[in-house]
Amino acid sequence: MAITIAIASGKGGTGKTTISANLSVALSKFGKDVIVLDADIAMANLELVMGLDGKPITLNDVLAGSASVEQAIYEGPGGVKVVPAGVSLDSFKKAIVIKKDVTITDKDKKVQLLLNKLKNFKIEGDVVRTYTGPVVTTFEFKPLAHVKVSKILNLQDDLAMALKASTIRIQAPVPGKDVVGIEIPNNEIETIYLREILETDLFKTQKLLF
Ligand SMILES: Nc1ncnc2c1ncn2[C@@H]1O[C@H](COP(=O)(O)OP(=O)(O)O)[C@@H](O)[C@H]1O
Ligand SMILES: [Mg+2]
């Protein structure tokens, strides 16, 4: 007769993996035929505890239908059988990323609006560059020579109100440049997934600092 023991909790870090590892090895040493697996495929550290990481066929392959469960069973400490889930990102499903591109015309409109509002406050100049991130867009504003930078800084709240933005941030001047950075929240916030970052060439080619 087979008995299934599930060790579960809604909270992480409560000791599920540790108990599963210890209990499975103990039962195995008592002569039981034990198979242990980590159903938490997003954080499958049971195989690390068991010293069985990096196996070619894992629970992910079984769940994807490309391998049988027998192929994913490996022998661990004390004779316990382990089904590793694989800690590689490759078998982890990609999130469906919907890019909410800020269109050129959207940005142009915002630039015009910003320039008009600044003009209302008697500040003249031009937007020379824009950077769009997931949450805010930075407009680099180059004021005419006679405009005092402190005057722009003082306008933070008035400008936010005039642009109907919840909050804006003004960096005056941007270090090393002859421009003022005006950060305005985007209409829609974009979600950045960790996988996207880990898969960028920049991330792959940089040395980690820790
Ligand atoms: N009984 C315990 N006493 C002290 N520390 C424990 C105990 N059980 C687990 N830990 C530690 O707590 C942390 C989380 O344990 P882990 O088994 O990975 O949790 P979970 O699988 O529930 O996320 C680990 O650092 C582990 O070493
Ligand atoms: Mg765990």
Specify the DSSP element, H or E, that contains 182. Answer: strand 180-185
pLDDT for 96 equals 63
47: CA distance to ligand 2 center in Å?
A: 10
87: CA distance to ligand 2 center in Å?
A: 12
Q: Which atom of ligand 1 is nearest to the CA of 9?
A: 22
pLDDT for 110 equals 86
pLDDT for 22 equals 96
Structural contact between residues 196 and 97, judged by C-beta atoms closer than 8 angstroms: yes
pLDDT for 35 equals 96
Q: Exposure pattern of 185-206 as b/e (b: 16+ CB <10 Å)?
A: bbeeeeeeeeeeeeeeeeeeee
Residue among 14, 19, 15, 56 nearest 36 (CA): 19
Residue among 33, 48, 39, 49 nearest 81 (CA): 33
- Average pLDDT by consecutive 10-residue portion of the chain (210 residues)? 91 91 96 91 84 89 89 95 82 62 74 91 92 90 90 88 86 88 88 80 75
Q: Where in the chain is the domain with CATH 3.30.980.40?
A: 104-185
pLDDT for 182 equals 93
210: CA distance to ligand 2 center in Å?
A: 23
Pocket of ligand 1 (CB under 6 A): 12-18, 45
15: CA distance to ligand 1 center in Å?
A: 4
86: CA distance to ligand 2 center in Å?
A: 13
Among the bound ligands, name the one nearest to the CA of residue 39.
2
Alpha-helix runs per DSSP H in the chain: 16-29, 46-49, 59-63, 104-120, 149-153, 156-162, 194-198, 201-205
**Threshold 0.85, pTM exceeds:** no
**For residue 36, what is the DSSP state?**
E
pLDDT for 41 equals 74
Residue among 77, 62, 21, 70 nearest 5 (CA): 21
Q: Which residues lie at CB < 5 A from ion ligand 2? A: 17
Q: Which atom of ligand 1 is nearest to the CA of 45?
A: 18
Return the CATH number of 104-185, one of 3.40.50.10190, 3.30.980.40, 3.30.420.40, 3.60.15.10: 3.30.980.40
31: CA distance to ligand 2 center in Å?
A: 25
pLDDT for 37 equals 92
Q: Which atom of ligand 1 is nearest to the CA of 40?
A: 21
What residues contact 52, with CB distance under 8 A and at least 6 apart? 74, 76, 82, 84
pLDDT for 201 equals 85
pLDDT for 109 equals 85
Mutate-to-test residue for ligand 1 from 9, 16, 17, 18, highest number of ligand atoms within 8 A of CB: 18
**Residue nearest ligand 1's atom 15 by CA:** 15
Residue among 23, 67, 66 nearest 46 (CA): 23
**For residue 56, what is the DSSP state?**
S
Cβ neighbours, 10 Å, residue 131:
11
